[in-house]
Chains A and B, each alone.
Chain A
Amino acid sequence: QVQLQESGPGLVKPSGTLSLSCAVSGVSISSDYYWSWVRQTPGKGLEWIGEIYHGGKTHYNPSLKSRVTISMDKSKDQFSLDLSSVSAADTAVYYCARNFWGDFRYLDYWGQGTLAAVSS
């Protein structure tokens, strides 16, 4: 059974870097999928942040691209998100998810989400 679990600090200071990890179980992160980060705020709803493939290829939301880095540790079956220069607007519930990448495009497995707040 595929499972994803986010982890990371719940509180980040303004202008700092928000760092989260997603542990994947039930499937190898090196299998033929992309892996995504999505965040959710009351104001903007669901926002896709970016994705990574086991070959290292990444795609980022253009609105966040200058501040986002997604990386992968295949030995641990986990991938990570770094979001720099954060402000209160980055306070959100952050989800990691698996992308189906074939004839269709969708996010079929999600973590339970982790709240990250930006505050001094």
Chain B
Amino acid sequence: EIVLTQSPGTLSLSPGERATLSCRASQSINSDYLAWYQQKPGQAPRLLIYGASNRATGIPDRFSGSGSGTDFTLTITRLEPEDFAVYYCQQYGYSPPLYTFGQGTMLAIK
């Protein structure tokens, strides 16, 4: 089973700053099967990025994803107050069919 490790565990920044979140896979994965989600307290996860770098419908362009192989990054430029939340990466593997998630990065207001 592929394990996704996210870092840092908590990132404290101020509105207007740039956030860089990392997701590292225990082995190389298909970047088409790498997604990022945002979750706020009491809410379900919300899809932000799919295929490592494609923004989901309605997601602002300050959110971007990049990476390949084992290293993936979610970047948020010019943080807005509503961006402070927990972020998860997710990958899909074929054998057996299995979705796995990282443990999350909490983006906190400094």
Interface residues of A, Cβ cutoff 8 Å to B: 36, 38, 45-48, 51, 59, 61-62, 95, 97, 100, 103-108, 110-113
Are A112 and B98 neighbours in the complex by a CB distance under 8 Å?
no
Q: Which of A36, A103, A112 contacts B43 (CB 8 A)?
A: A112
Residues on B with C-beta less than 8 A from A106 are: 35, 47, 50-51, 90, 92
CB distance from A102 to the nearest CB of B (A): 9
CB distance from B106 to the nearest CB of A (A): 12
Are B98 and A61 neighbours in the complex by a CB distance under 8 Å?
yes
Interface of A, secondary structure class, is strand
Residues on A with C-beta less than 8 A from B60 are: none
Residues on B with C-beta less than 8 A from A100 are: 50
Q: How many residues of B contact A (CB 8 A)?
A: 26
Bound CA span A112–B33, Å: 24
Residues on B with C-beta less than 8 A from A108 are: 47, 50, 56
| CB-based nearest A residue for B6 | A45
Not counting A51-B97, A110-B45, A112-B44, a sample of 8 additional A-B residue pairs whose C-beta atoms are within 8 angstroms of each other reads: A46-B45, A46-B88, A46-B90, A47-B101, A95-B44, A104-B33, A107-B45, A108-B56
Are A110 and B98 neighbours in the complex by a CB distance under 8 Å?
no
| CB-based nearest B residue for A62 | B96
A45-B103 in contact given A62-B98, A106-B35, A108-B56 (Cβ < 8 Å): yes
Are A48 and B99 neighbours in the complex by a CB distance under 8 Å?
yes
Please, what's the 1-or-0 string for B14-57, where 1 marks a CB less than 8 Å from any CB in chain A?
Answer: 00000000000000000011010100000111110011001010
CB distance from B2 to the nearest CB of A (A): 12
